[in-house]
């Protein structure tokens, strides 16, 4: 989705072929009924022109009263069939279109879930959602445009041309003179449309995405009085999108005046020549009226067919952008022979691991560390040291450039991601709650958890009290990302989600750093409960989750520079860890009195 390939004739055909191959068989029966209805619409349109000769010649010119009833019934039946067929084809195509949109929305969502974290790091979520919303209709439109153009417009045009030729072949030649310049105009416009459509879609997605982001961060907008800045920024984006949309409309509609001029010229020439011949040759006017009726009825399907390539180009751009997303390959794919991870003890080993993100800057360099089974390992260090990267690599959000990450001796690249992540409970610094109730959000930890297990987990997470104070208790909607709850309450719900998961490995990424002292105490008490007898890796800036760890690892510039217990590390006055604690207002001796005393002192400072 990052490139901007140009749609060529071959790529248009390739996309169309793929769309038909993926959807044609699924809707073959429904399409067959729709095609029959479209053909009936086309045939009755041609019949309306053909019967005009008998209406004029037999009823008005020769005044045959015996044919009036028969001709009237024939005309009525033609319009009755046309009306019923038009209704049925519209219903059929609408149902197929709606089903196709739903199918591709599901496919896109499944694809997004299969892609790695790196993809979402590169894409703005608001723009991505807006683009998908616009692009997914492209597949439906391609099929709908192609079907109606072939089964209705093309068949109708062929039928009407047949009527015209059978009525007067010479007048038909005059009418056909408009085709070459119209074809040249359509080809020119189609080339111009290719270059404008994608820019229009992208700009519109940017506008919608930015508006979505502003609505999500409205408290920050208000707090920093960003209204004027954002108003100017979004206003500029809207103006650029409007200019592109105007350009697209201007380019797309260039066929219209030319087709109108050419059609007017053809019809005027036919009427002039036919009228002159009828007057001078004293011929019955029926054939002339039938020809003119066919010519005028042929104008609409001919105009739609003339615009087919232009409209198809617009739909193809959207369809192509959807397939660009669907064709993305996840970077962290399961190996062909991947097996399930079996966690007996839960020991995690990093062996000479190198890693860098897409920008190429090294984040981890020959990193080796061990998180002992059933114990708590804390990782500390300055911002940018690589702490959160360790957490991401354990969950295989990314793969290392070199080295091995193993759990109980099993290289995690050789196990399935589902079994790996199913063995891990994760609590992040910024807990995310999804649309739904409190109970729903806790149950995401394990879908088969019972209500009793959910409430037990909430109690262990010190969340049961505030949950029962809500209007609907566990069935209270949380709002968008838990907007109705405080930061501490959201964090305790995320801990309850981790408890319900009941996984042997627990990862805590600065789970208390954004909380006030009271909330931190409640959250830390909840964490202490679930950390027992689990292999736990803790990343923390605050000292409360560090001093009682079985082992503390100090990282700097992607390497392990110190390792030991809290008591061992603070006894090194020149060490990084000791200086780190000194900066937080405590001296090393103050922290040697024991974990409980240290926690109390640290919380008081925090």
Give every strand in the sheet of 559-564, ordered side by side: 424-427, 505-509, 535-539, 376-380, 551-556, 559-564
Domain boundary among 326, 354, 372: 326
Question: Could you tell me if 349 and 405 are in contact, meaning their C-beta atoms sit under 8 angstroms apart?
Answer: yes
Domain boundary among 302, 326, 350: 326
List, for residues 430-443, the tens digit of each pLDDT value: 778 888 889 998 99
Tell me whether residue 527 is in a domain: no
List, for residues 135-170, the tens digit of each pLDDT value: 788 888 888 887 777 777 788 888 878 887 887 777
List, for residues 101-120, the tens digit of each pLDDT value: 888 888 888 888 888 777 77
293 and 357 housed in the same domain:
no
In the predicted model, is pLDDT for residue 7 greater than 60? no
In the predicted model, is pLDDT for residue 425 greater than 80? yes
List, for residues 245-276, the tens digit of each pLDDT value: 787 777 767 667 777 777 777 777 777 777 77
pLDDT band, residue 516 (cuts 50/70/90): low
pLDDT exceeding 70 applies to what percent of the chain? Answer: 83
Q: Look at phi and psi of residue 408 and say left if phi exceeds 0, alpha if psi is from -120 to 50, else beta.
A: left
Please give the pLDDT value at position 10: 53
b/e burial code for range 451-468 (CB count within 10 A of at least 16 → b): eebbbbbbbbbbbbebbe
**Residue labelled with tokens 């709908």:** 144
Q: What is the CATH number of the domain that holds 574?
A: 3.40.50.300
Q: Which two tokens stand for residue 165?
A: 């030729």
72 and 144 housed in the same domain:
yes
297 and 401 housed in the same domain:
no
Q: What is the CATH number of the domain that holds 52?
A: 1.20.1560.10
3-state SS of 361-426 is CEEEEEEEEEECCCCEEEEECCCCCCHHHHHHHHCCCCCCCEEEEEECCEEHHHECHHHHHHCEEE
Domain boundary among 294, 326, 358: 326
Question: Could you tell me if 302 and 255 are in contact, meaning their C-beta atoms sit under 8 angstroms apart?
Answer: no
Higher-confidence residue of 220 and 532: namely 532
Domain count, the chain: 2
> Comparing C-alpha atoms, which of 211, 213, 220 is closest to residue 238?
211
The values of phi and psi at residue 458, to 5°, are: -65, -40
Q: Where are the beta strands (DSSP E) in 461-550?
A: 505-509, 535-539
| Residue span of the structural domain in which 203 resides | 9-326
Please give the pLDDT value at position 600: 39
């Amino acid at each position: 989705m990052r490139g901007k390939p140009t749609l060529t004739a071959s790529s248009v055909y390739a996309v169309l072929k793929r769309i038909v191959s993926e959807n044609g068989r699924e809707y073959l029966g429904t399409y067959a009924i729709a095609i029959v209805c479209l053909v009936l619409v086309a045939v009755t349109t041609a019949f309306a022109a053909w019967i005009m000769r008998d209406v004029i010649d037999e009823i008005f010119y020769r005044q045959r009263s015996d044919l009036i009833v028969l001709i009237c019934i024939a005309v009525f039946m033609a319009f009755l069939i046309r009306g019923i067929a038009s209704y049925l084809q519209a219903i059929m195509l609408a149902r197929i279109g709606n089903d196709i949109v739903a199918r591709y929305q599901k496919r896109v969502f499944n694809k997004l879930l299969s892609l790695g974290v790196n993809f979402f790091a590169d894409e703005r979520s608001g723009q991505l959602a807006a683009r998908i919303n616009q692009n997914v209709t492209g597949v439906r439109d391609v099929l709908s445009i192609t079907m109606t153009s072939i089964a209705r417009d093309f068949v109708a045009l062929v039928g009407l041309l047949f009527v015209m030729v059978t009525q007067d072949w010479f007048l038909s030649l005059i009418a056909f003179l408009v085709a070459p310049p119209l074809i040249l105009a359509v080809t020119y416009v189609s080339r111009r449309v290719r270059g404008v459509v994608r820019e229009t879609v992208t700009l519109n997605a940017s506008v919608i995405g930015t508006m979505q982001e502003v609505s999500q961060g409205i408290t920050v907008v208000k707090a920093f009085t960003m209204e004027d800045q954002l108003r100017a920024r979004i206003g500029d984006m809207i103006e650029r999108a409007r200019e592109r949309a105007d350009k697209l409309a201007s380019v797309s509609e260039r066929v219209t005046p030319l087709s109108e001029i050419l059609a007017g010229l053809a019809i005027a020439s036919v009427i002039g020549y036919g009228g002159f011949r009828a007057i001078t040759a004293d011929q019955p006017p029926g054939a002339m009226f039938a020809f003119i009726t066919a010519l005028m009825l042929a104008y609409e399907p001919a105009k739609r067919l003339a615009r087919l390539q232009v409209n198809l180009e617009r739909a193809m751009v959207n369809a192509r952008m959807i397939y660009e997303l669907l064709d993305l390959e996840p970077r962290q794919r399961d190996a062909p022979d991947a097996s399930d991870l079996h966690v007996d003890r839960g020991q995690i080993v990093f062996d000479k691991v190198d890693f860098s993100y897409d920008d190429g800057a090294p984040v981890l360099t020959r990193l080796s560390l061990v998180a002992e089974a059933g114990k708590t390992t804390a990782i500390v260090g300055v911002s940018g040291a690589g702490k959160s990267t360790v957490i991401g690599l354990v969950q295989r959000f990314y793969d290392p450039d070199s080295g091995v990450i193993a759990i109980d001796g099993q290289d995690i690249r050789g196990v399935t991601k589902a079994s790996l992540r199913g063995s891990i409970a994760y609590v992040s610094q910024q807990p995310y709650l999804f649309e739904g109730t409190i109970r729903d959000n806790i149950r995401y930890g394990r879908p088969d958890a019972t209500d009793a297990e959910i409430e037990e987990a909430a109690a262990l997470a010190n969340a049961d009290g505030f949950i029962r104070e809500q209007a609907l208790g566990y069935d209270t909607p949380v709002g968008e990302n838990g907007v109705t709850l405080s930061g501490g309450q959201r964090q305790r719900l995320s801990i309850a989600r981790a408890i319900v998961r009941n996984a042997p490995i627990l990862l805590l990424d600065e789970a208390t750093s954004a909380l006030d002292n009271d909330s931190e105490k409640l959250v830390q008490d909840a964490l202490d409960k679930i950390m027992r007898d689990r292999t736990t890796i803790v990343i923390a800036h605050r000292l409360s989750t560090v001093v009682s760890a079985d082992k503390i690892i100090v990282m700097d510039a992607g390497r392990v520079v110190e390792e030991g217990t809290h008591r061992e590390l603070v006894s090194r006055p020149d060490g990084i860890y000791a200086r780190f604690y000194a900066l937080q207002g405590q001296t090393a001796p103050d922290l040697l009195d024991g974990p409980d005393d240290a926690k109390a002192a640290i919380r008081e400072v925090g």
